[in-house]
Amino acid sequence: MPQVLQIEFIEEGGIARICSIMESTNAKKIFLVSGKSSFILSGAKKTLQRLLKDKKVTIFNSFPSDYELCDIERGISVFKSDNFDLVVAIGGGSVLDMAKLIKILSAQKQSNIFNFIKNPSLIENKGVPLVALPTTAGSGSQATHFAVVYVQQEKYSLAHQYVLPDFAIVDTALCYSAPRVDAASSALDALSQSIESYWSLNSTKESKYYAAKAIKLMIDSIVPSVNHKDKKSIQSMSLASHLSGKAINISKTTLPHALSYFLTSNFKISHGHSVALFLGFVWKLNYQYGDEDLQKIMEELSDLIKISVRDFDIFWYNLMSILGLEKKLSKIGIEQSDLYAIASSANQERLKNHPITIKTELIVDELNKML
């Protein structure tokens, strides 16, 4: 199967590239997957009304951020109600993932979409072109070939080269108006992805290049971008989050992400916030229990972040506080009786990428300290 290549545009005002994309794909009917408030706040709605005025546009946005199979099936039903020739996705990571799932699953011959989620090798058809535009500097979903879906509160990830959007437009202007809490969660997700990608068992020279470049950009930009809405810093974060997506597209994520899905599904804590709660102590355990090779990787990361390898967990949880994200578990509804379920919930697909095995009991001990 030939490798699928992506065309990417990273520029302020890049949303206007949709016009040339529609021309090159001869698109007449647009299926638009969007967030709700973000679609308006980002300015995308107003701009697209002008850019798409001569096209037939159907908007699908009636789904939660932790959508399940039934939500995807509704989206597919709407998509199949007409002969759409282009999918445009504008929003955060869950919006982009939803569009990726609708686009790829609607193109397959079988109607039982769970079969493809369980066994992506069944996917045969690429579907219509997809344009992905993030409105947060975070998930990097526009640069990845996988998409998350929850089935009865259990997390699955559909991975296939055809899931990668055909076009990625990182228009930094779309991120300027993101609410602080969303910007903070998204920023820590992007930084976590880059760090995890760097230590992942699947890391390569290329993925480490993307991850290192992203980390360097984010360390200096994350606080002013979230807390002060500094445009130059938001531009740096937008580029960095795209690079973090390119990094995990190769390496995938590890234990902090593997543990995060339980919090998102059961406690409705945003994805980036959930990941951040685990990353600090997982770093500490990596360095404490890792072999010489892993310790060297952790020291390389420390140099990128400009922090002592042994002080990272203190730095990290302090950063969460500076960005306005709660780090005390008891204050976000988690009790001691929940800790074992959280620690033992790790998603196996992400867990197998982690460079060492960390016992459940160790994770429970660390979570206890965060109550």
Q: What is the DSSP string of 100-148?
A: HHHHHHTTSS-S-HHHHHH-GGG-----S-EEEEESSSS--GGG-SEEE
Element (H, E) at 154: strand 154-159
pLDDT of 1: 42
Among residues 236, 216, 123, the alpha carbon closest in space to that of 175 is found at: 236
How many CB atoms lie under 10 A from the CB of residue 73? 15
Over the stretch 204-241, which tens digit does the pLDDT of each residue have?
999 999 999 999 999 999 999 999 999 999 999 999 99
pLDDT of 5: 67
**Collapsing DSSP states into helix, strand and coil, what is residue 291?**
coil
The Cα 219–Cα 68 span in angstroms is 34
DSSP 68: B
pLDDT of 324: 98
| Beta-bridge partner residues of 91 | 134
Over the stretch 91-147, which tens digit does the pLDDT of each residue have?
999 999 999 999 999 999 988 999 999 999 999 999 999 999 999 998 899 999 999
Kindly report each contact of residues 223-228 with a partner whose C-beta sits within 8 Å and lies 24 or more positions away, as own/partner. 223/319, 223/322, 223/323, 225/137, 225/183, 225/187, 226/180, 226/183, 226/184, 226/187, 226/323, 226/324, 227/180, 227/322, 227/323, 227/324
Length of the chain: 371
Q: What is the mean pLDDT of residues 255-263?
A: 95
**Residue ranges of domains in the chain, CATH in brackets:** 7-174 (3.40.50.1970), 179-369 (1.20.1090.10)
pLDDT of 3: 53
pLDDT of 153: 78
pLDDT of 155: 83
Over the stretch 280-337, which tens digit does the pLDDT of each residue have?
999 999 999 999 999 999 999 999 999 999 999 999 999 999 999 999 999 999 999 9
Residue 327: both structure tokens together:
């780090």
pLDDT of 81: 95
Tokens 């045969």 belong to which residue? 124
| Beta-bridge partner residues of 33 | 60, 89
125-143 in b/e burial notation, b at 16+ Cβ within 10 A? ebbbbbbbbbbbbbbbbbb
Sign of CA dihedral 270, 290, 221, 10: negative
> Which has the minimum average pLDDT: 28-37, 251-260, 282-291, 347-356?
347-356
pLDDT of 2: 42
Over the stretch 1-59, which tens digit does the pLDDT of each residue have?
445 668 999 999 999 999 999 999 999 999 999 998 999 999 999 999 999 999 999 99
DSSP 9: E
Q: What is the mean pLDDT of residues 65-91?
A: 95
**Collapsing DSSP states into helix, strand and coil, what is residue 7?**
strand
96's CB contacts (< 8 A; 6+ apart) are 89, 132, 134, 139, 141, 142, 147, 165
Among residues 147, 171, 247, the alpha carbon closest in space to that of 205 is found at: 247
Phi (first) and psi of residue 37, to 5 degrees: -65, -35
- Mean model confidence pLDDT for the chain: 95
pLDDT of 4: 62
Greatest Cα pair distance, the chain, in angstroms, is: 61
Output the pTM of the full model. Answer: 0.94
| Beta-bridge partner residues of 156 | 149
Alpha helix stretches (DSSP H) within 200-290: 205-227, 231-251, 255-267, 271-289
Q: Quick one: CA torsion of 338, 343, 346, 351, rounded to 10 degrees?
A: 170
Element (H, E) at 70: helix 69-79
